[in-house]
């Protein structure tokens, strides 16, 4: 069992939330890279989330100010979002924050 840095559930899946945690796959799992965990985030965690049925997985790299977006059930290759782009999230139409705002200090 993994606990992502951030997870999101769509309203349609709120029934997965119980007093003792989330039962079932989140709609989105987000991991923020740190020097000690980068390898696991790109390999082991990604595969565990895919097998669990998570549709979308983001790996946030604060040093590079980028986000790798994996659509785990569709394509093994990520779409990388960097400065000057808007982060797209198909499960939430209209949600497209600017990358610069995500990494603003």
Q: Which pLDDT score, from 0 to 100, does residue 76 have?
A: 84
> Domain total for the chain?
1
Q: Which tokens sit at 26?
A: 């989140």
Three state DSSP letters for the chain: CCCCCEEECCHHHHHHEECCEECCCCCEEEEECCCCCHHHHHCHHHHHHHHHCCCEEEEEECCCCEEEEEECCCCCCCEEECCCCECCCCCCCCCCCEHHHHCCC
Q: Which pLDDT score, from 0 to 100, does residue 61 have?
A: 94
Structural domain harbouring 48: 26-102
56 - beta bridge partners?
Answer: 28, 71
Q: Specify if 66 maps to a domain.
A: yes
Q: Specify if 83 maps to a domain.
A: yes
CA dist., res. 13 & res. 17, Å (int): 8
Q: CATH number, domain at 35?
A: 3.90.1570.10
Q: Which pLDDT score, from 0 to 100, does residue 62 have?
A: 93
pTM of structure:
0.89
CA dist., res. 46 & res. 54, Å (int): 9
Q: Specify if 87 maps to a domain.
A: yes
Q: For residue 1, is pLDDT > 80?
A: no
Q: Which pLDDT score, from 0 to 100, does residue 39 have?
A: 82
Q: Which pLDDT score, from 0 to 100, does residue 34 have?
A: 87
Q: Specify if 7 maps to a domain.
A: no
* pLDDT tens by residue, 41-98: 898 999 999 999 999 999 999 999 999 999 998 988 999 999 889 998 888 888 899 9
């Amino acid at each position: 069992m993994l606990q992502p840095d951030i997870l999101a559930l769509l309203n349609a899946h709120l029934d997965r939330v119980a007093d003792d945690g989330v039962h079932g796959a989140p709609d989105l799992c987000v991991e923020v890279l740190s020097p000690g965990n980068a390898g696991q985030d790109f390999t082991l965690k990604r595969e565990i989330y895919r097998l669990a049925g998570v549709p979308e997985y983001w790996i946030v790299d604060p040093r590079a100010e980028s986000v790798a977006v994996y659509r785990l059930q569709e394509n093994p290759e990520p779409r990388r979002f960097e400065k000057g782009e808007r982060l797209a999230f198909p499960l939430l139409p209209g949600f497209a924050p600017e990358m610069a705002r995500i990494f603003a200090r």
